[in-house]
Structure 1
Amino acid sequence: MTKNLLNKYLFKLDANIGKQPNKKTVLIILILIVVSLASLFFISTNENLYGNPIAKITSITENESKEENSTGKIEPMKNQKIEAIIMNGTFKGNSIELNNTTSFSQVNDLDLKVNDEIFISLQSNDNNEITSAKILDLKRDKNVIYMINIFIALILLVGGIKGFKSLVSVVVNILIVFSIIGLFSKGYDLAILSIIGSILFIIASLFIVSGKNKKTASAIIGTLAGTLTSMLIAGIVIKLNNWSGIHFEEMEFLTHPPEKIFFIELIIGTLGGIMDIAISISSAIDELYDKNPNIDSKSIIKSAREIGQDIMGTMSNTLVFAYLSGSMPIILLLLRNGLPITYIININLSLEFMRALIGSIGIVLSIPITIFTSIAILKKHKIGEA
């Protein structure tokens, strides 16, 4: 059987070798190459578009020292004497000298390198001469554009036309987010906007990537049902416990009720994992029906459960790590200040654990929901019938 499958795969590979890429694919690739080159050129010559002065570092002289901090620990320090050229504004082309001190932790400072571009503030006298210059921040747009171009190249290389559709869905979702922010700034209710936005996220992402078909419809239903069910369970449990054990200290700066914002976070964070599970299950069931239209529902359920069980553990771990990774800086800061790990978990990580737990519940529930939804939609006869 393995030999037959291998021969079948090699036959398909040989058949596809001589195929020429269609004109649409070539056009998309050329457009993306042009856009990528244009973006690289733009960020290399965009200094004049900034209002703040920008300087490019040409040379750095360093000397090292040590400093005792408030906790009594010795931290290595580095003093940098910098020469730079101003890239824009009134003093464009002038050379300046700057001083920079960077610590080992780099909590509130920058470790600068030659060819880095930095935002600076300048002071001048009546003769229009620079009297002092101070470093404000690092200009990071080049690094961001480089990473975006690498991401686009990899997703197209691995995903092909599906990868391109994924990029389109990302752009559409970003536009939805900005629309929600714009409407919220005009006084619309954030909870209602977030629910509508989440539904649009699901529909737009799945329709763009997977197309208009029964597989997509079953994934949408599974995602919506799984998210709604997990939110209902979370709401009932939290209400019965009267928010006991959940601390909102990290949300004290908000001007809105933290409970409301927390539920919005749960919805947005949960539906991403559930959507991934739902489309994986529905795609697998669709593929099984394509290979064997006469397959019975019991075999479909058994195969889909095996797939769901394999994905379930990894997706739950993904949620846990994703939420905890965002708290790593504050965890390290609190540990450095001598706070016990039990206090950190109870006060600072209660929200992260709650988000991960509710998201995992949604993932587990979405598996059977999507399985039976997909069977009902993709097969004409009823669930459970052979």
Structure 2
Amino acid sequence: MKISGLNSGNYRHRAVVTIFLVILLLGAVIFANNNESFYTRPIAKITSITETYTKQSGDIYGNSEKIYTQDIKAVVMNGVHRGEIITLSNNTSESQVFDTRYEVRDEVFISYREDAQKNIISAGILDLKRDRQLIYIIIIFVFLIVVIGRKKGLRSLASVSVNIMISWMLIDLYVKRYNVILITAAASLLFILISILLVNGINNKSFAAICGTIAGTLFSLLLTLAVILVTDGKGIYYDEMDFLAYDSTRLFIVEVIIGTLGGIIDIAITISSAINEIYMKNPDIEVKMLVSSGREIGKDIMGTMANVLVFAYISGSIPMIILWIKNGYSTFNIINYNLSLEVTRALTGSIGIVISIPITIYISVLLLTYKRSGVKT
């Protein structure tokens, strides 16, 4: 009877959570499609488009592309002119590097001019309204993480939400010219504690993962500082960071810390959880065997996590790499000059991952095997 009652209670709890989640997701969909009134900027929804070929455009390097003109009719979705039909014009190219090709049902931010009677006499497109697509992606992400992760999925969502808020505060403090290194170090510690403790709870495997993450991140930071100190910062080209009128070296260090952090947290909690699971299945396992198993696990995931960092950093440069190749840059120049920032970040992050593996293994084994009968995991 007790077991039946417990199962019944679990089913009711899951049903309530499922209904709440469905209502929340449906509410998000409705909001995404009817949120124009929340914007102060005028928004128009495109109802028809007539596209005509205009000309062929070229540059000094011999590259060429076709230019098109879109004659657009749209209806204003908010403000005092809501419901009015307006005409818009948009020039677009094949590459769409500096422009956008619009489609029917797209919503766009607009600006307009009025006459003395407050009638719209001309209007232009400022930007595409993209929040609906973003909300759809968020809905899919939330649905999958809750369905697959269940209770831990909900905790993960809470962790992500809190970390996003901390990141936003962090950027605001950057803009206000606070010491970026100190506030990033403090924020990183919060990221580690929230990401691990909120999802996995307070236990030995969480403590081992925290120690491994801090050690790996600190080693990456010290290595980065050493490289900058020895080379006097020469050989690392900070690309677009130079436009910020800020200390590019400090911002680079911040990028290394935050970029490395995610990968090291992932690998540290994976190893500590795996070792914990092995130990729980066989509490009498020898320390040597437990360490050996941890090393094998670490070897398997070391390469893949290093690749994750490399792909993550390099992928953002793919459009620029294509542009440089089209404009005659050699492979050596692209790697040596233009990709030095991404390569440096990927290498320092990968080293941090490698260092965190043995640290996490030995701390996990130490906590699990010390006073075996008296330690809860």
Q: TM-score, normalised by structure 1?
A: 0.89
Amino acid at match of 2:224: A
Where does residue 294 of structure 1 map in the other structure? 284
| Structure 2 residue aligned with 1:95 | 85
| 1:206-245 matched pairs, under 5 angstroms | 206-245=196-235
**Is 1:25–1:161's contact at 8 Å kept on the other side of the alignment?**
no
Q: Which runs of 5+ in 1 are unaligned?
A: 1-14
Give, in whole Å, the separation in 2 of the partners of 1:380 and 1:105.
62
* Cα contact 1:100–1:135 (8 A) shared by 2: yes
- The answer as to whether partners of 2:224 and 2:253 remain within 8 angstroms in 1 is no
CA positional deviation for 1:58 = 1.0
1:324 is aligned to 2:314: yes
1:194 aligned onto 2:187: no
- 8 Å CA contact 2:114, 2:121 repeated in 1: yes
CA offsets 1:103-125 (integer angstroms, 9 cap, x no match): 11011111111111111111121
Matched, 1:373 2:363: yes
**Aligned residue identity for 1:250:** E
SS at match of 1:231: helix
Matched letter for residue 147 of structure 2: L
Residue pair 1:123, 1:133 contacting (<8 A) in 2 also = yes
CA deviations on 1:242-290 (whole Å, 9 max, x unpaired) are 3332122432112322111111111111121111111011001100110
What code does the residue aligned with 2:296 have? E
Instruction: Tell me if 1:40 matches 2:29.
Output: yes
State yes or no: 1:339 paired with 2:329.
yes
CA positional deviation for 1:201: 0.2
1:131 counterpart SS class:
strand
Alignment-derived partner of residue 375 in structure 2: none
Q: CA 1:224 to 1:329, structure 2 compared with 1: closer, same or farther past 3 Å?
A: same
Tell me what 1:63 maps to: 52
Q: Look up the SS of the partner of 1:253 in the other structure.
A: helix
Q: How far did residue 344 of structure 1 move?
A: 1.9
- The corresponding residue for 2:120 is 130
Identity score, percent: 48
Deviation at 1:186, TM superposition (A): 4.9
Deviations 1:58-102 (A, max 9, x none): 111222354122233331233222111111122211111222221
Of the structure 1 ranges 125-134 and 174-183, higher mean CA displacement relative to structure 2 is found in 174-183
Which amino acid in the other structure matches residue 38 of structure 2? L
Q: Which amino acid aligns with 2:57?
A: E
Contact 1:118/1:135 (<8 A) preserved: yes
- 1:350 alignment counterpart: 340
1:19 offset after TM fit, Å?
7.5
Give the CA RMSD over aligned residues.
2.0
Counterpart of 2:113 in 1: which secondary structure? strand
**Residues 287 and 365, structure 2, Cα contact 8 Å, conserved in 1:** yes
Q: Which residue of 2 aligns with 1:280?
A: 270
Shift of 1:21: 4.2
Residue aligned with 2:48, SS: strand
Matched, 1:105 2:95: yes
Give how far 1:170 is off. 0.1
Does residue 181 (structure 1) correspond to residue 171 (structure 2)? The answer is: yes
Distance 1:315 1:381 in 2: 33
Aligned to 2:353: 363
The answer for the alignment partner of 2:18 in structure 1 is 29
Q: In the alignment, what sits opposite 2:139?
A: 149
Provide the C-alpha distance between the structure 2 equivalents of 1:196 and 1:275, rounded to a whole number of angstroms: 16
Amino acid in the other structure paired with 2:20 = I
Counterpart code for 1:322: A
For residue 375 of structure 1, report the CA deviation from its aligned partner.
0.7
Amino acid aligned to 1:64: Y
Worse-matched range after superposition: 206-215 or 47-56: 47-56
Q: Structure 2: which amino acid aligns with 1:321?
A: F
Q: Tell me the CA shift for residue 146 of structure 1.
A: 0.6
Q: What one-letter code is carried by the residue in structure 1 that aligns with 2:52?
A: N
Are the counterparts in 1 of residues 57 and 67 from structure 2 also a CA contact under 8 Å? no
Given that residues 250 and 348 in structure 1 are in contact (C-alpha distance below 8 angstroms), is that contact kept between their aligned partners in structure 2? no
* Aligned counterparts of 1:213 and 1:249: Cα–Cα separation in 2: 43
Correspondence for 1:8: none
Task: Give 1:209 shift.
Answer: 0.9
2:152 maps to 162
The separation in 1 between residues aligned to 2:67 and 2:308, in whole angstroms, is 37
The structure-2 alpha-carbon separation of the partners of 1:304 and 1:349, relative to structure 1 and needing over 3 Å to count, comes to same
Shift of 1:298: 1.0
Deviates more, 1:138-147 or 1:94-103: 94-103
CA distance, structure 2, for counterparts of residue 275 and residue 231 of structure 1? 15
In structure 2, what is the equivalent of residue 9 of structure 1?
none
Question: Amino acid of the residue matched to residue 214 of structure 1?
Answer: N
